[in-house]
Structure 1
Amino acid sequence: MASRPVASTWIATRGRRLGALTASTLLVAATVAACGGGGSGGSGTADDPTTITLTHGYTDAEAAAITSLVGEWNTDHPTTKVKIEFNGGNDNALQKTVAGFTAGNYPDVAYEFGSSAAQLARQPKLIDLTATVASPAFDWDDFYPSEREATTVDGKVVGIPALVDNLSLVYNKKLFEQAGVAPPTDSWTWEDFRAAAKKLTDPASKSFGWAYVNDGSEDTVWRYLPLLWQAGGDLLTEDNKAPAFDSAAGLAALGQLRDMVVTDRSVYLDTGNQNYLNLFNSGKIAMLWTGPWDLSSITSDVDYGVSVLPGYQGNHETVSGPDIYMLFDHSGPRHQVAIDFITWLTSAKVHLKFSIATGDLPLRKSETALPEYQTFLQKYPGAKVFVDNLDNVRHVRPNIASYAEVSTAVGQMVQSVLLGQAQPQAALDSAKAQVTSALSQHS
């Protein structure tokens, strides 16, 4: 599930931000054994506490951090108890939660990918949090806009932000110096980026200026979206009823990628095995568009820097994939304990403890004003640009049940262009037809 700076979990959990499940996957999910649901009404006393269950897929530092914080809550709230259960990994979160509804042992709180919000929003047991976040004491506006948007489906708040990230430009300072290329700046344009990547490429040594994941999956789409948004485009129309990427902006974004990959040959196309990071560590790739989850896997001998993404006409927009805690109703007392616990867990002071322990970015803007934030920056110096770059997140992926089909069509569109199998306009036209069909089936 969340997993960012823990490198060992990134490959297994990249679906957190990148994956979206199809309807057939959800049908299969209903047949598998579920985890979670081990709560009890209790009488709300120290001898018989009201007990709720939190399911998650955290590993390593994040697992240790959530265990510590839950222990702190249980100590300070003797009439309630939170039990934590590992769901087998965040890639399985949606399947396990759905199976729990079938078996009747669903959790009170579940960590879910943001892309699961639309599917679970239809669950009758879901707790509507719209009124909860509207309370002045909750300070909903303290969360970054992308987080708030990711938790909202059809005007209803269906979850509380659990994790936030974004794509920024990570670069090898030594390679830039050796090539005589000035380091990236916050005013870099697409043209600056393309020119630098070309100068940083050496066919003789099989070195590349940039890497792009081109397996046609959501990972491919994830990196295309900032280009589309920067150029003034969008994935779908405002009502999510029709494709919108088949535009001048969509063509410009595809053209930028094609020019760098096909014409300049300055981009290493990763097949989805995440080998780009090994090549970055070995000095074979000079620049990555990646998130804070990869920082801990960059070896100590690589002197790297972090910058915002290159922009288009001054727009340096990036993409974020917030994850969320979703709450499900068992009874009135458990319902209230779940709300109280998750409000506490995502409060500024408590969450900053989690960030310091794990490297996950602050969820709330107010966390950056706390004295302990300096401890976070000292421990994770490369994270500062990622935190600041949250202000460059203006869109999130659409919260719709058909997102998986939309993503598949767009991912294949980009992949076909970068493999030289289709021209940008033809690829746009083909993807438009596929997305139109997918959206009509869910209308």
Structure 2
Amino acid sequence: MTASRTAAHSWISARGRRRGALAASSLLVAAVVGACGGGGSDSGGTTITLTHGYTDAEATELNTLAAQWNTDHPTSKVKLSFNGGNDNALQKTVAGFTAGNYPDIAYQYGSSAAQLAKQPKLVDLTAKVTAPGVDWNDFYPSERDATTVNGKIVGIPALVDNLSLVYNKKLFDQAGVAPPTDSWTWQDFRAAAKKLTNAGNGTYGWSYVNDGSEDTVWRYLAMLWQAGGDLLTSDNSKAAFDSPAGLAALTQLRDMTVTDKSVYLDTGNQNYLNLFNSGKIAMLWTGPWDLSSITSDVSYGVTLLPGYNGNHETISGPDIYMLFDHSAPRQQAAIDFITWLTSPKVHLQFAIATGDLPLRKSETTLPEYQTYLQKYPGDKVFVENLDNVKHVRPNIPTYAQVSTAIGQMVQSVLLGQAQPQAALDAANKQVAAALAGHS
């Protein structure tokens, strides 16, 4: 289980979460590790620092690529610095500004973009992404949107994911239910989940993480968008989810959980994976990060999320590299390195080593992409599903507060503590207050 697959879409650091915390240290990057402020001018060259929270396969491959770059660019070198885990990335970077030892490049969750966009040392990449070799439009739209704050490009895509429907083939066969298809409706999904549920032996059709965290929120957001709604207005100034679309999505969740009792409510401890592996849960809405935790004896399939009126939109939580200015030579070296690191052939090499999804559409046209699919056949649908990402969560400093309100709203309905419309109204007031307090 790899670092990006444990926290790829953690849009608020409170979601420290997920499939185990990231390691407190990593010997895998020792060969090129350096202190955050360790960049500078060597004799006859420039050295920059990249901070990250990768462990395991990602750390190993990033180490390999950094060493490759340093061999090929003896006058423009990069040092890697492990920041203690990506959940600490924002805090460590902000502390670096105070101490004066901030990195040249920092791996950050997409949720950090709005906060760090205010830093005077941030490198504005808006004009720079038009340079030869960047091919900005080759990145998936959701990735480009995640790097943009108030019209300014503040980062380069580092990782992308999405939610798809993962299902246990054996449970479908045993229940005599036809397997999911990419044309399933919400009604098809609800009916199948009900048939796949057996209270007598503790089997559930679906699982939903109901701890009120962002893990609770982002599945709801996919349903909200499918139904034609949105979280906030286009200028991010007001709530927009208290709508017919918001009600439809929340009612579907209520009906499946409270009425049908076909949903296992996970408390945030990710026990749903153990239950999926033991044949007690038939379907998950999850991402590629969970595939490596599915045991080899489970025959599973992957397809698109069930849709609403033909809309099978999904959700993604891209992570980004953000660049900070120390000097003109170091800034240029950082741009050159990150352009190379995220170029199609180099990133596909990284993806083959780690199982991360391709960052660029052109990666799927390279011959080596077939090697990737042979090694990670379950990722094929996740890659194709990147075309079904039409929205990103708003890049605003108050997103954590907005997420908390939505998480509490969904949680209260799934626990049977509130009716959908009353929960929507209560959350609407919370979000309005949060937005007004930071207008």
Q: Could you tell me how far 1:222 is from its partner in structure 2?
A: 1.1
Query: Alignment partner for residue 17 of structure 1, among 5, 10, 20?
Result: 10
Deviations 1:174-196 (A, max 9, x none): 00000000011010000000000
Whichever residue aligns with residue 398 of structure 1, its letter is P
Q: Could you tell me how far 1:41 is from its partner in structure 2?
A: 2.6
Whichever residue aligns with residue 285 of structure 2, its letter is W
User: Which consecutive unaligned segments of at least 5 residues does structure 1 have?
Assistant: 23-33
Aligned to 1:377: 373
Deviations 1:17-63 (A, max 9, x none): 242569xxxxxxxxxxx9612111335x3xxx300000000010000
Q: TM-score, normalised by structure 2?
A: 0.94
Find out whether 1:40 has 2:40 as its counterpart: yes
Q: Could you tell me how far 1:321 is from its partner in structure 2?
A: 0.1
Aligned to 1:425: 421
Distance 2:93 2:175 in 1: 51
User: Which consecutive unaligned segments of at least 5 residues does structure 2 have?
Assistant: 16-33
Distance 1:77 1:177 in 2: 56
Aligned to 2:276: 280
**Is the CA contact (8 Å cut-off) linking 2:194 and 2:205 kept in structure 1?**
yes
Aligned to 1:109: 105
Aligned to 2:82: 86
**Is the CA contact (8 Å cut-off) linking 1:20 and 1:403 kept in structure 2?**
no
Q: Could you tell me how far 1:138 is from its partner in structure 2?
A: 1.4
Aligned to 1:25: none
How has the CA–CA distance of structure 1 residues 237 and 35 changed in structure 2, closer, same or farther, with 3 Å as cutoff? farther
Distance 1:386 1:4 in 2: 15
Whichever residue aligns with residue 50 of structure 1, its letter is T
Find out whether 1:416 has 2:409 as its counterpart: no
**Is the CA contact (8 Å cut-off) linking 1:163 and 1:360 kept in structure 2?**
yes
Find out whether 1:219 has 2:215 as its counterpart: yes
Deviations 1:253-299 (A, max 9, x none): 00000000000000000000011001000000000000000001000
Deviations 1:145-167 (A, max 9, x none): 00000000000000000000000
Find out whether 1:98 has 2:94 as its counterpart: yes
Aligned to 2:28: none
Deviations 1:177-236 (A, max 9, x none): 000000110100000000000000000011100000000011100110110000000000
Q: TM-score, normalised by structure 1?
A: 0.93
Distance 2:14 2:333 in 1: 30
Distance 1:20 1:424 in 2: 28
3-state SS in 1 of match to 2:321: strand
Q: Could you tell me how far 1:2 is from its partner in structure 2?
A: 7.8
**Is the CA contact (8 Å cut-off) linking 2:325 and 2:331 kept in structure 1?**
yes
Aligned to 1:316: 312
Kindly report which structure 2 residues correspond to 1:154-303, keeping only aligned pairs within 5 A, or say none. 154-303=150-299
**Is the CA contact (8 Å cut-off) linking 1:211 and 1:267 kept in structure 2?**
yes
Whichever residue aligns with residue 82 of structure 1, its letter is V
Distance 2:133 2:78 in 1: 23
How has the CA–CA distance of structure 1 residues 350 and 56 changed in structure 2, closer, same or farther, with 3 Å as cutoff? same
The alignment yields a C-alpha RMSD, in angstroms, of: 1.5
Find out whether 1:356 has 2:352 as its counterpart: yes
Find out whether 1:144 has 2:140 as its counterpart: yes
**Is the CA contact (8 Å cut-off) linking 2:164 and 2:314 kept in structure 1?**
yes
Distance 1:116 1:4 in 2: 16
Distance 1:273 1:138 in 2: 40
Whichever residue aligns with residue 246 of structure 1, its letter is D
Whichever residue aligns with residue 112 of structure 1, its letter is Q
3-state SS in 2 of match to 1:17: coil
How has the CA–CA distance of structure 1 residues 367 and 19 changed in structure 2, closer, same or farther, with 3 Å as cutoff? same
3-state SS in 2 of match to 1:205: coil
3-state SS in 2 of match to 1:111: strand
Whichever residue aligns with residue 411 of structure 1, its letter is G
Distance 1:158 1:37 in 2: 21
Distance 1:145 1:241 in 2: 23
Distance 2:112 2:166 in 1: 29
Q: Where has structure 1 moved over 6 Å in runs of 4 or more?
A: none
Whichever residue aligns with residue 12 of structure 2, its letter is G
Q: Could you tell me how far 1:3 is from its partner in structure 2?
A: 2.4
3-state SS in 1 of match to 2:238: coil
Distance 1:41 1:323 in 2: 29
**Is the CA contact (8 Å cut-off) linking 2:4 and 2:54 kept in structure 1?**
no
3-state SS in 1 of match to 2:107: strand
**Is the CA contact (8 Å cut-off) linking 2:2 and 2:56 kept in structure 1?**
no
**Is the CA contact (8 Å cut-off) linking 1:35 and 1:100 kept in structure 2?**
no
Distance 1:440 1:21 in 2: 23
- Percent of residue pairs bearing the same amino acid type: 78
Aligned to 1:401: 397
3-state SS in 1 of match to 2:359: coil
Find out whether 1:132 has 2:128 as its counterpart: yes
Distance 1:76 1:284 in 2: 52
Distance 1:277 1:407 in 2: 24
How has the CA–CA distance of structure 1 residues 262 and 413 changed in structure 2, closer, same or farther, with 3 Å as cutoff? same
Distance 2:4 2:48 in 1: 26
3-state SS in 1 of match to 2:434: helix
Q: Could you tell me how far 1:91 is from its partner in structure 2?
A: 0.5
Distance 1:136 1:343 in 2: 10
Q: Could you tell me how far 1:134 is from its partner in structure 2?
A: 1.9
**Is the CA contact (8 Å cut-off) linking 2:13 and 2:87 kept in structure 1?**
no
